[in-house]
Chains A and B, each alone.
Chain A
Amino acid sequence: MAAYQLPQWAALAPALLLALTGLVLFLIDSISPRSTDRTLLAGTAAVGALASLAVAVWFTAAGVGTPTVDGGEGVIEIFDGQFVVDQLALYFMIVVTIVTALIVVASYDYLAGHTYQAEYYSLVVLAATGMATVAAANSLVTIFIALELTSLPSYALVAILKDNRGSVEAGLKYFLIGALSSAIFVYGISLVYGATGVLQLDSIAEVIADGGADGFGGLLGLGILMLLGGIAFKTASVPFHFWAPEAYEGAPAPISAFLSSASKAAGFVIAFRVFNVAFPLGEIGNVIGFDWTVAFVVLAIVTMTVGNFAAATQENVKRMLAYSSIGHAGYALIGLAGLSADGGELVMGAALMHLLVYGFMNTGAFLFVALAEHWGVGRTFEDYNGLSSQAPVACGAMAVFLFSLAGIPPFGGFFSKYFLFTGALQAATANTAMLAVAAALVVNSALSLYYYSRLVKALWIEDPPATRDRLGQPTGLYAAIVVAAVMTIVILPGFGPVAEAATGAAEALVN
């Protein structure tokens, strides 16, 4: 027990700190508009993200959100349960702030000479605020508002290279599909509200358990499917994945990293919380006539297959990474597919671990693309030929990211995939369809090794073209890439606490 008991609302401190950072950035920009003091702006954003990360880690270590039976402080409810700070919320706040800190540091070099410095950083921090708030939101309304706070800055960020046709086009496409999926999501909320009469997640579960939604099964089922659609957009899963390659390719590469790691994690936290808390398996099956795990089994298999097969045919590195991120969304969906009425926390914990490891390796891979864009070497596999002779450190880090994404043993990605696989096999005792999911996981991982190693081959084995200029060594980008690479490896000995935090969060949610 701490000597001084913080007030309840202080449990939201990671999100509040990010919001405060956003306001400070606005103040700096108000005092000197059009400032191009990159050190001040990027530094402020990085300090804010790191402070938020430190607080989230401290809260996790101090036992905030851990159930009291396990010696923690108990789950903290704020505003009558509109927000809830539990292990899951803190876990995802950690993921989001890590990615935010990495891309802010990397943007320091990427944005050199850019006009809208302050706007960029404040939008990034505001989007991160939204993602951290999503992690703690416990009512369909707060989820929707936090989701919009995540989405709206993202649209602007994708299109922030105003004079770049690709960036503007990507921003428009992202915005149009995002608006559509927001509409679907909010319609889903209205249908769920119509069927149950409440918006808070645990109240929805109570109403369903009490039979208050009997007779509205069709309405509720349609609402749940629509919620699923909105979530699929945010996580770039089939059938709402079309925007991802376009948006990631056109966006500035650090923003692609941000969207494909942090934004995706925010989508998954909604999926985990809404489906576990509001629509507990078993009871919901009696009302709407089917278990939602069926939907997730199909989505997981289709998403990972589509993502990996499409990635294998790409010539453009950024597009390849975009499709691979769709494939990884499929892996994380296994966490929901493997749930059953009386268990499944192991497979969901594995999905949480995968999202954390993915936060490092995928962000790192996209930041390497940012580095290549900074160098101006080109976009295709061939343009990357022989970069290792000129930039061995960055290319070594990239090889780590790619092998980790593929799931090769010495790296973090192997462990999370391994846990997903064993979790899926264990869940197969309750639901034989999980065998198909586990098989799809193995087949797709094997396939992904093909296109990841193609890039490694281009970097390390092919000869460099004779005409390439000397490549610079931008400090910020290098620092972010090296930190991400080191974390991808170091997370292995440190996997104990991570696995503990992830399974703890999953257990608290499932039971």
Chain B
Amino acid sequence: MNDWIAIGALALVGLLIPLGMMAVSYLLRPTVPETSKRATYESGEIPTGGTRVRFNIQYYTVALLFLVFDIETVLLFPWAVVYLDAVESDSVSLLEILGPMLLFVAILLVGLAWAWRNGAVQWAQTPRQAAADSDRQ
């Protein structure tokens, strides 16, 4: 018997269960059409505003900063794993094992310092707050 048959059966069952549940609930449930059921948010709250909210661009810059340090971790991990072995062995000097990583982190620090100074991690401001700030200066 082909191994793929088991996978195919699994996929079939996975598809049948939700479809079956939907079909059963369709048969059992009472039908009470009501307009408030069509509202965007129907757990008793009255919706305010549209669904197309504009997110502050700062989420993006923070996410970008996170990504940089995410990748830093990925590169630090294998380095940390071989670090002790490299220190103990005589073939590599301490500068050779430590230097490149310090340089790498220093480059990232320059980037972080720049982003910080240019307001990438400042608390998000509404246009009104920003206007008030500029009045004060």
Contacts and interface: CB of A to CB of B under 8 A. Distances in A.
A23 interface: yes
Contacts, number: 22
Contacts of A33: 117-119
A27 B118 contact: no
B41 to A, nearest CB: 33
Nearest to B112: A30
Contact of A27 (B110, B116, B119): B110
A30 B116 CA distance: 8
A26 B117 CA distance: 10
Contact of A23 (B110, B116, B117): B110
B107 interface: yes
User: Which size class do A's interface residues fall under?
Assistant: under 10
A5 to B, nearest CB: 18
B60 interface: no
Contacts of B62: none
A206 interface: no
Interface of B is mostly: helix
Contacts of A30: 110, 113-114, 116-118
Chain B CB within 10 A, most for which of A23, A27, A30, A33: A30
Interface string B64-102: 000000000000000000000000000000000000000
Nearest to A29: B114
A375 B108 CA distance: 40
Nearest to B117: A30
B111 interface: yes
A29 B117 contact: yes
A30 B114 CA distance: 5
Contacts of A29: 114, 117-118
Interface string A20-46: 000100110111010000000000000
A40 to B, nearest CB: 16
Interface string A464-493: 000000000000000000000000000000
Contacts of B114: 26-27, 29-30
A28 to B, nearest CB: 10
B94 to A, nearest CB: 18
A31 to B, nearest CB: 8
A80 to B, nearest CB: 15
A507 to B, nearest CB: 35
A26 B110 CA distance: 7
Contacts of A26: 110-111, 113-114
A33 B120 CA distance: 12
Contacts of A27: 110, 113-114
15 contacts: A23-B107, A23-B110, A26-B110, A26-B113, A27-B110, A27-B113, A29-B114, A29-B118, A30-B110, A30-B113, A30-B114, A30-B117, A31-B117, A33-B117, A33-B119
Interface of B: 107, 110-111, 113-114, 116-119
